[in-house]
């Protein structure tokens, strides 16, 4: 209709035309709002699918990772052997285990001699001692990229008058009669647990540095160090249980079952102090299952005794029994935030739900009632 035709319309006809145009505009706005809601919904679904497909995922299992389980078994066996030796030491004379003959350390490695002599070379009878020989023990040391050999020389001194033999005592070592120094053991442990270098990779690194150390030997060292560090772990646990607030969580790990070569899902429970505590510490407790009894045993919680404080954890049911025994529950805000992050990762609620439009939740209603207007969607939501 052109401008000339509008002049021939009366007031009633103009009123009807305005109402018709308003209805068309409202219908167009409703359709645009609905389409925008569909676009927002598809955009959200696409973002979630991209995160699921291209987001960070756990590493896939590879044949090389099988050696990680073998290393853990060898380390555990050595730790058990050390503990059994310690228990048997007080009951019966210690006997040397049958071990393979050790190969001498390579001659091309540089040597550094450490001399151990008596504090005094005067015998208790007053005569001067005479040096008649020495005992030498070679220890393998490691600095990043360089192997060296420490020659611990203990001189033998004898009194020609009373034939008294004097010699400095053997310096204490982490592994008795072993070749590694504390520096080499620290390198192996830090590389394995802090730098995430499994023993089979360290074996290759040491081979390039000129020293062949098998992963079974490295695993035995790790197990022996674990036994020696147990008193430190116990002391750290006692100190941790003095804190009024602790964090707790558990993560699954693969445990190799002896005999059948298959893996079983075990759990590594972690307990740590808060970021506001004076001492920052984490204690890991290995358990073969996810039963809540493991958390109660670690915290020493019983209906009448044990740790009484605030435990920050997720909503795992294994912790619920603790909260009936006097432990205060503090929910994890990271887990509460997770659902909001998954639901609305890239846009705000105002963009999803327009004041005069339909939210993605009302799309189902619009599919059932295609003729419903925007106001109808609002009324459906309110009902």
pLDDT digit string, tens, across residues 6-36: 777 778 888 888 888 899 999 999 888 888 8
Residue 155 has pLDDT above 50, yes or no: yes
pLDDT confidence band for 353 (50 / 70 / 90): very low
DSSP string, 19-75: HHHHHHHHHHHHHHHHHHHHHHHHHHHHHHHHHHHHS--PPPP-GGGHHHHHHHHHH
Which pLDDT does position 299 carry in this prediction?
94
pLDDT in tens, 283-296: 999 999 999 999 99
Identify the top-confidence range among 51-60, 98-107, 158-167, 361-370.
158-167
Q: What is the mean pLDDT of residues 343-352?
A: 51
Quote the pLDDT of residue 118.
Answer: 86
First to last CA, the chain: 42
Q: Return the pLDDT at 260.
A: 73
Residue 99 predicted with pLDDT over 70: no
- Residues 313-346 have pLDDT tens digits of 998 999 999 999 999 999 888 777 777 766 665 5
Q: Which residue has the tokens 């008596």?
A: 118
pLDDT > 60? residue 365: no
- Better-scored residue on pLDDT, 363 or 279: 279
Burial 286-299 (b: 16+ CB within 10 A, else e): ebeebebebbbebb
pLDDT score for 158: 92
Helix axes 215-240, 199-208, angle to 10 degrees: 120
* pLDDT computed for residue 285 by the predictor: 94
Query: What are the φ/ψ torsions at residue 375 (nearest 5 degrees)?
Result: -65, -35
pLDDT at 250: 93
- Helices (DSSP H) in 138-208: which residue ranges? 182-189, 199-208
Q: What is the largest CA-CA distance in the chain?
A: 146
Q: What is the pLDDT of residue 163?
A: 84
Position 185 pLDDT exceeds 90: yes
Q: Which residue has the higher pLDDT, 274 or 7?
A: 274
pLDDT at residue 119 greater than cutoff 70 = yes
Left (φ > 0), alpha (ψ -120 to 50) or beta: where does 126 sit? left
Lowest-confidence segment of 87-91, 228-232, 305-309 by average pLDDT: 87-91
Predicted local distance difference test score (pLDDT) of residue 366: 54
Percent of the chain with pLDDT over 70: 77
pLDDT for 376 equals: 47
Higher pLDDT, residue 372 or 161: 161
Question: What average pLDDT does the chain have?
Answer: 80
């Amino acid at each position: 209709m052109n401008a000339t035709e509008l002049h021939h319309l009366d007031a009633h006809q103009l009123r009807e035309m305005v109402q018709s145009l308003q209805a068309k505009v409202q219908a167009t706005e409703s359709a645009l709002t609905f389409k925008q809601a569909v676009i927002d919904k598809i955009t959200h679904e696409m973002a979630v699918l991209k995160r699921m497909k291209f987001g960070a995922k756990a590493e896939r299992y590879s044949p090389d990772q099988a050696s990680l389980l073998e290393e853990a078994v060898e380390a555990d066996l050595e730790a058990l052997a050390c503990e059994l030796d310690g228990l048997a030491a007080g009951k019966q004379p210690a006997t040397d285990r049958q071990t393979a003959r050790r190969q001498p350390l390579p001659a091309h490695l540089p040597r550094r001699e450490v001399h151990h002599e008596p504090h005094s070379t005067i015998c208790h009878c007053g005569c001067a001692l005479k040096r008649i020989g020495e005992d030498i023990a070679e220890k393998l040391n490691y600095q990043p990229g360089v192997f060296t050999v420490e020659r611990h020389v203990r001189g033998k001194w004898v009194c020609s008058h009373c034939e008294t033999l004097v010699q400095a005592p053997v310096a204490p070592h982490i592994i008795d009669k072993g070749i590694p120094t504390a520096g080499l053991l620290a390198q192996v442990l830090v590389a394995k647990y802090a730098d995430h270098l499994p023993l089979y990779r360290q074996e290759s690194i040491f081979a390039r540095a000129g020293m062949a150390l098998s992963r079974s030997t490295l695993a035995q060292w790790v197990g022996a160090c674990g036994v020696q560090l147990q008193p430190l772990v116990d002391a750290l646990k006692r100190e941790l249980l003095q804190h009024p607030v602790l964090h707790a969580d558990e993560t699954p790990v693969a445990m190799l079952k002896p005999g059948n070569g298959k893996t079983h899902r075990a759990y590594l429970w972690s307990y740590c102090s808060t970021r506001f505590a004076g001492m920052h510490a984490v204690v890991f407790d290995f358990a073969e299952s996810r039963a809540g009894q493991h958390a109660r045993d670690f915290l020493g919680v019983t209906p009448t005794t044990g740790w009484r404080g605030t435990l920050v954890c997720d909503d795992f049911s294994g912790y619920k029994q603790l909260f009936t025994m006097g432990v205060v529950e503090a929910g994890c805000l990271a887990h509460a935030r997770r659902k909001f992050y998954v639901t609305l990762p890239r846009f705000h609620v105002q963009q999803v739900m327009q004041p005069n439009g339909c939210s993605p939740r009302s799309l189902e209603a619009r599919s059932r009632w295609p003729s419903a207007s925007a106001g109808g969607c609002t009324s459906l939501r309110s009902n």
